[in-house]
């Protein structure tokens, strides 16, 4: 994943800030790339195109508790 793609993932409305975050915390790059990958896998699963991502807990509308 390129720096521009990662910056767009981290701050879709402000690529400059995304690039600053990447530069300030390069040790987290692998984590952010995995988050992006899982986000794509979830989207495919929800569309019925791919399998449910492993190691991820997904809550549907029935499992989400409303605050009183």
For 48-66, write each residue's pLDDT tens digit. 998 988 888 877 666 566 6
How do residues 27-42 score in pLDDT, each as one tens digit? 999 999 999 999 999 9
Angstrom distance (rounded) from CA 25 to CA 31: 11
Check residue 57 and give its pLDDT.
83
Q: What is the dihedral of CA 2, 45, 38, 16, to 10 degrees?
A: 50
In this predicted structure, what is the pLDDT of residue 21?
A: 95
Kindly tell me the burial class for residue 33, based on how many C-beta atoms sit within 10 Å of its own C-beta (0-12, 13-18, 19 or more). middle
């Amino acid at each position: 994943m390129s720096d521009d793609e990662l910056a767009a993932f981290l701050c879709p409305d402000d690529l400059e800030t995304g690039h600053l975050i990447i530069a300030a915390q390069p040790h987290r790059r692998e984590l952010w790339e995995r988050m992006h990958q899982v986000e794509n896998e979830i989207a495919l699963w929800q569309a019925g195109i791919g399998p449910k991502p492993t190691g991820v807990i997904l809550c549907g509308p029935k499992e989400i508790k409303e605050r009183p």
